[in-house]
Each structure stands twice: as structure tokens, then as C-alpha cells.
Structure 1
Amino acid sequence: MRPDLLRPLLGTLGLLIGFGLYAWAGDLPQPWQRLSIGAMFAALGISAVLYARGERWIQVLGSVLILYGVLRAFVIG
């Protein structure tokens, strides 16, 4: 069984980009800060749901991320 080395590399790269974008969004003025961070969580949730392909727990996690992203953008300040 050959390990897939690309997956951990892409995961690490994704984390670095995510933390960088989150830090950049934290410097934005309101309401753009709230809206951009909410959009990032929602986009992460959408990508998780699309990636899941039948894995129910990932789909649930993606749905929770979408819900949190929408709440973060419009309700949670």
C-alpha cells in the first residue's frame, strides 16, 4: 500500500493559506471583516460537502461550517 504524499502536503498548504487569509481578514474594517470571515467558513463548508462523496460525518461537518459561516457573517459580531 503506497501512501499518498500529496494529500498531507496539500493539507499543510491549505492550513497556511487559511491562517494567512484569516489574519488578513482580521485587519479589514467592519462590516467587511465579519462578512469575509463568514464567507471563508461557508466556503470551507461547501467544499467539505462537495468533497465528502457519501461520507455522512464530513457532510454534517460541512453543513455545520456553512451554518456557522452564515451566522458569523450576519448575526455573530
Structure 2
Amino acid sequence: MNLYRQLMGAVGLMIGFGLYAFADRLSPPWNSVLIGALLAALGVTTFVYARGERWIQVLGVILIAYGALRAFVLH
């Protein structure tokens, strides 16, 4: 087991939930834009981190697409 990877996952979840709670306090449409940007950034980091694992890269692309939709279309 890679303890560092598990620790980074837990820290990432805490940061993500904190940012999501902060973004939810903003007034519309800025809350949707910020949440969409966070999801798109998560998708980019997922895609880059995957390095050859295709299904994780596909998940990253899906997160990028949903983040862009959330930021610009789904308010």
C-alpha cells in the first residue's frame, strides 16, 4: 500500500469539501461558476495524474466537461 497516496487523497477530500462549502455561500451565478471551475480543475489534475490509466483519464475528461457545463450552462 502506498500510504502517501492515501494521505493525499484524504487531504484532497478535506480541501475539496471546504472549498465546496465556501463556494456555496457565494451569490448566484458565482457559486456555480466557482464550483464548475473547481470540478474542471479536478478533472485536469486527474487527467495529468493518471499517466496511462485510460479509465481514469476518461473520468478526468468527464469532470472537465461537467465542470465547464456547470460553470457556463447549468445555473
Normalising by structure 1, we get a TM-score of 0.93
Deviations 1:22-68 (A, max 9, x none): 00000001121011000000000000111111110011000000000
Q: Which residue of 2 aligns with 1:63?
A: 61
Letter in 1 for 2:43: G
Q: Which amino acid aligns with 1:66?
A: I
Q: Which runs of 5+ in 1 are unaligned?
A: none
When normalised by structure 2's length, the TM-score is 0.95
Query: What is the root-mean-square deviation in Å for CA atoms of aligned residues?
Result: 0.7
User: Aligned residues: percent identity?
Assistant: 60
Larger Rg: 1
TM alignment of 1:1-77, pairs within 5 A: 3-77=1-75
Which residue identity does 2:67 align to in structure 1? G
**Aligned residue pair count:** 75
